[in-house]
Amino acid sequence: MKKQDGASTLVVVLMLFLLGMLVLAGQTQQYEMRFRRIHQERAALAQWNMAFTLLAWGTQQQWSPATDWLCQVPANGAGRACMRQISQARVLLAASPETPAEEHNEKAHLILWRWGTPTDTGITWLPQGWIDFCPLSENKACILP
């Protein structure tokens, strides 16, 4: 019988080992990308929930009519709600989960808007009056203080 040194077997085992390492490295990258995406999705949902909460909170506050933005901050300090009278028959409520300092970052910030009508007893908020983009024609008018 011939004596075999097993070099080819060792090469095959090393190739399988390297192939397995490449597959595991690829899966690790996939999991990291999915984890980041899930984290971003959770953060976005939390931001939407906070904006809706602030919008609902803002509808329960006492507002005085003003042509400039008037803002109120809830007790927990999470974001703010601002109101502005657009015309005699329209007011606009804006709710943002960010603080003014956070809004100056490069990332896009979320502001929800809701239409209302002033009455003698307060403000009547339109039941289907909320939107997720600024309805005002001037961009400067959409900037909250």
pLDDT greater than 60 at residue 101: no
**CA 126 to chain CA centroid, nearest Å:** 24
Q: Which two tokens stand for residue 15?
A: 């190739």
Per-residue pLDDT band at 122 (split at 50, 70, 90): confident
pLDDT greater than 70 at residue 54: yes
pLDDT greater than 60 at residue 103: no
User: What integer is the mean pLDDT of 86-111?
Assistant: 77
Q: What is d(CA 144, CA 140) in angstroms, rounded to the nearest whole number?
A: 9
Q: What pLDDT is recorded for position 17? A: 94
Q: Where are the beta strands (DSSP E) in the chain?
A: 70-72, 80-87, 90-96, 112-119, 122-131
Q: What is d(CA 140, CA 5) in angstroms, rounded to the nearest whole number?
A: 80
Q: Which two tokens stand for residue 119?
A: 């009455």
pTM for the whole structure: 0.73
In eight-state DSSP terms, residue 140 is G
Q: What pLDDT is recorded for position 24? A: 95
The CA angle 47-45-52, to the nearest 5 degrees, is 55
